[in-house]
């Protein structure tokens, strides 16, 4: 890809803006050689004002989402992009959330600009387990485990029953729930269907990937075999 396009696609500005950066001698190789429009260079060899470029196309990030942020720019209020470097919002292709978490759900959110990977993760065929922890308004009755595992639970206005889900009671008003799907407000609606109400919801894991020691509100790039862990 041409240098100007490569840099512009990473959100550093329009192609015109990037040409100006090049003309000003602000884009160099690691050895300090000034790059010009038309030069060829590898992503990891390019510096702007001495700084490494933002991650290349095909990146996957994990964010520890706090409550109060939405995953869609079309929803009102604060959006998860506000927790990432501003430039990330202007990338082409865009970095998009892999599925959604509700505004008040916290925890593990993946974002990527790799559309194929995104669809592989959210596809129902992939069967990627997602693990949530829910705090409930009322004590568990003990019936929920079998109802959720049955594969017959129908949510209002849905045409097909939910796939079996696994519930583990953590205490009388707290449960860990593993689901394979990602239907709209799924966990909140599942507990509403058994007469309860979710007070707080946290996604702890996607596949074998968890947040580790990532603080709430922080993000980091996935590295090495971490993408494979999603499907492990």
Give catalytic residues, as residue numbers: 102
CB 106, CB 65: distance < 8 Å: yes
- Contacting range for ligand URA; rule: CB under 6 A; set: 1-9, 58-66, 87-95, 182-190: 182-190
186 binds ligand URA (CB under 6 A): yes
Please say which residue, 12 or 132, places its beta carbon nearer to ligand URA: 132
Query: Of 20-28, 147-155, 159-167, 183-191, which part binds ligand URA (CB under 6 A)?
Result: 183-191
Please say whether the beta carbons of 128 and 117 come within 8 A. no
Figure out which of the listed residues 120, 145, 176, 188 binds ligand URA, where binding follows CB under 6 A. 188
Judged by CB under 6 A, the stretch of 16-24, 53-61, 117-125, 184-192 that binds ligand URA is 184-192
Picking from 213, 204, 26, the residue whose alpha carbon sits closest to that of residue 109 is 204
φ/ψ (deg, to 5) at 109: -125, 125
**Tokens representing 229?**
């862990």
Question: Which of the residues 103 through 162 are near ligand URA (CB under 6 A)?
Answer: 105
- Going by C-alpha positions, the residue among 91, 79, 77, 64 that lies closest to residue 209 is 64
Distance from C-alpha of 208 to C-alpha of 143, rounded to nearest angstrom: 28
Residue choice 102, 181, 199, 210 for contact with ligand URA (CB under 6 A): 102
70 binds ligand URA (CB under 6 A): no
The answer to whether 29 contacts ligand URA (rule: CB under 6 A) is no
Which region among 8-16, 49-57, 98-106, 135-143 touches ligand URA (by CB under 6 A)? 98-106
Compare residues 91 and 202 and give the one whose CB is closer to ligand URA.
202
Shortest spacing between CB 163 and ligand URA, in angstroms: 14
HEC profile for 152-179?
A: CCCCCCCCCCCCCCEEEEEECCEEEEEE
Please identify the residue of the shown chain whose CB is closest to the bound ligand URA. Answer: 105
Q: Is the dihedral of CA 171, 173, 176, 178 positive or negative?
A: positive
**Position among 7, 27, 162, 201 found at the interface with ligand URA (CB under 6 A):** 201
187 binds ligand URA (CB under 6 A): yes
Q: Which of 61, 142, 65 is nearest to 106 (CA)?
A: 65
- Phi, psi (deg, nearest 5) at residue 61: -115, 150
Residue numbers at the binding site for ligand URA (CB under 6 A): 101-102, 105, 185-188, 201
């Amino acid at each position: 890809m041409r240098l100007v396009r490569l840099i512009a696609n990473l959100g550093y500005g329009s192609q015109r803006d990037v040409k100006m950066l090049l003309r000003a001698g602000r884009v160099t190789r690691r050895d300090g050689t000034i790059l010009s429009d038309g030069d060829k260079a590898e992503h990891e060899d390019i510096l702007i004002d001495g700084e490494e470029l933002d991650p290349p196309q095909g990146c996957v990030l994990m964010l520890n989402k706090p409550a109060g942020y939405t995953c869609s720019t079309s929803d009102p209020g604060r959006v998860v992009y506000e927790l990432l470097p501003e430039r990330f919002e202007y990338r082409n292709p865009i970095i998009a959330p892999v599925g959604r978490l509700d505004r008040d759900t916290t925890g593990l959110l993946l974002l990527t600009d790799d559309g194929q990977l995104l669809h592989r993760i959210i596809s129902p065929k992939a069967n990627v387990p997602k693990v949530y922890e829910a705090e409930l308004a009322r004590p568990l009755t003990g019936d929920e485990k079998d109802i959720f595992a049955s594969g017959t639970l129908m949510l209002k206005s849905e045409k097909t029953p939910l796939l079996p889900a696994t519930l583990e009671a953590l205490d009388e008003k707290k449960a860990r729930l593993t689901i394979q799907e990602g239907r709209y407000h799924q966990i909140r609606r599942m507990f509403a269907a058994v007469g309860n109400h979710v007070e707080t919801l946290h996604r702890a894991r996607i596949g074998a990937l968890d947040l580790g020691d990532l603080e709430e509100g922080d993000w980091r790039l996935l590295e090495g075999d971490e993408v494979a862990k999603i499907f492990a």
